[in-house]
Structure 1
Amino acid sequence: MKHRIKSAVFVLGLLGLAALAQADALVALKDFVRDVKSGRTDFTQTVSSPDGLRKKISFGTFEFQRPNQFRFAYTKPFEQLIVGDGQKVWIYDPDLKQASSRRMSQVLGATPAALLAGASLERDFTLKPLAPEGGLEWVLATPRQADGSVQSLKVGFKGASLAALEVVDGFGQRSRLDFAGFVSNQAIAAERFRFVPPAGADLIEQ
């Protein structure tokens, strides 16, 4: 009987620790949005097909400055640049020499960029702490206005440090970004969030 009581106390203790970890992740996300005004990090992106059998891995850097300025620069295996200047989102493919742009209000919505670089976290997302997994503490961010392009977003923290972001799109494809060497609140040149199409590039504006 005593052994059962001890086991029950131990299990309840573990559940209590898990609840604390979940609460910590939610606090970490809110603190990140409130306190981190700019940042830079390297990332590894793994995109998995809905059945999990096919994967593509890319590498690059991510920079942002609130509100709504960001820069994803993919370096391997192919170069690609995505820049949000606060008004428009630009996508440039050096191999195709093609640039496209759309108004930020049309594309930002409840996206990973909005989650990380936006200023309206709880207006755009419903937040729910999840159980720790893979050494990280997670928060589920569900878009309040679903448009079909994003099913769910998960943000992972290691302590107070942003560590990962996982997105499931409307087709069930899963994209995970693992961050490394995150530096917060560093000065970032304004030019990093401007894009001028290179001479000779095809330009598509929507």
Structure 2
Amino acid sequence: MKRILVSLAAVLALSAKADSVDTLNGFLKDVKSGRASFSQTVTSPDGKKTKKSSGSFEFQRPNQFRFVYQKPFEQTIVADGQKVWIYDPDLNQASSRRIDQALGATPAALLAGGNVAKDFVLKALPADKGLDWVLATPRQAEGSIQSLKIGFKAGELAALEIVDAFGQKSLLEFAGVVPNPAIAAERFRFQLPAGADLIEQ
């Protein structure tokens, strides 16, 4: 009887693990565009320092997204499918890179990219803090991200946790997620503001 219970527990554990990866795969398959607000907490490698910011996020596959940081400092990051633009209003300065150089194994590539399996190895993790988690490990170990976790609540995208190559942790928590909204094409076009400097990389 004990052996049966242990076997049953193992089967249930495997089923639970499969579910979170299935949830992510379902999200990637069914949700072609999205909109949400987010709060971000960045924690230093020693865990002693934190920085908080907030803003909004929109995406449309493949490879179009718009991050707008509103607090405490404004910054806009836009990808139009060909390039990624970062604009800092305080400096009135923008930079751009080709999308294949800028994305790779990044959170934006995971949410808005066209081929997640090419860039990440996916593994289910135990549920934690009310969320079902998936670990996405970049296939290219020399990149800027050490690990990436995606959290779902009742099948809805709820959080991203990123640990960069230096051990700094960023937690993005999403609210008001709207799957598959109609998003105007101009939301993913960057227009250089008058007088702004442009640095192309």
The TM-score with structure 1 as length reference comes to 0.92
SS in 2 for 1:102: strand
For residue 189 of structure 1, what is the amino acid of its counterpart?
Answer: A
Of 24, 30, 49, which residue of structure 1 is paired with 2:44? Answer: 49
Q: Counterparts of 2:52 and 2:7 in 1: how far apart (Å)?
A: 40
Deviant stretches of 4+, over 3 Å: 11-19
> What is the CA distance between 1:15 and its match in structure 2?
5.4
Partner of 2:118: 123
Q: 1:201: which partner in 2?
A: 196
Which residue of 148, 151, 158 maps to 1:153? Answer: 148
The offset of 1:20, in angstroms, is: 2.8
Between Structure 1 and Structure 2, how many residues are aligned? 201
Partners of 1:165 and 1:121 in 2: CA distance: 15
**What are the superposed Cα offsets for residues 85-109 of structure 1, whole Å, 9 maximum, x if unpaired?**
1011000001111111011111110
Instruction: Tell me the equivalent position of 1:60.
Output: 55
CA contact (8 A) 1:28 1:159 kept: no
Aligned to 1:144: 139
Aligned-partner Cα distance in 1 for 2:139–2:152: 22
Q: Name the CA distance, whole Å, in 1 between partners of 2:168 and 2:128.
A: 20
CA distance in 2, matches of 1:85, 1:152: 26
2:107 matched residue in structure 1: 112
**Aligned counterpart in structure 1 of residue 158 of structure 2, from 147, 151, 163:** 163
Per-residue CA distance 1:35-72 (angstroms, 9 max, x = gap) = 10000001010100001110001000010000000000
> CA offset at residue 13 of structure 1?
6.0
Deviation at 1:124, TM superposition (A): 1.2
Q: Are 1:76 and 2:71 matched, yes or no?
A: yes
Asked whether the 8 Å contact 1:48–1:175 carries over to 2, the reply is yes
**What is the CA distance between 1:126 and its match in structure 2?**
0.6
Structure 2, unpaired ranges of 5+: none
Q: CA separation of 1:180/1:12 partners in 2, compared to 1, >3 Å: closer, same or farther?
A: farther
Structure 2 letter corresponding to 1:192: R
Cα 1:52–1:15 change in 2 (3 A) is farther
Rounded Cα–Cα distance in structure 2 between residues aligned with 1:202 and 1:94: 11
Identity %: 67
8 Å contact kept, 1:153–1:168 = yes
Deviation at 1:18, TM superposition (A): 4.0
- Conservation of the 8 A alpha-carbon contact between 2:38 and 2:54: yes
In our comparison, the structure showing a higher alpha carbon Rg is 1
- Unmatched runs of 5 consecutive residues or more in structure 1: none
- In the alignment, what sits opposite 1:87? 82
Q: Secondary structure at the match of 2:19?
A: helix
- Equivalent residue of 2:127, what SS? coil
- Residues 203 and 130 of structure 1: is their aligned pair in 2 closer, same or farther, counting only changes over 3 Å? same
How much has 1:146 moved relative to structure 2? 2.4
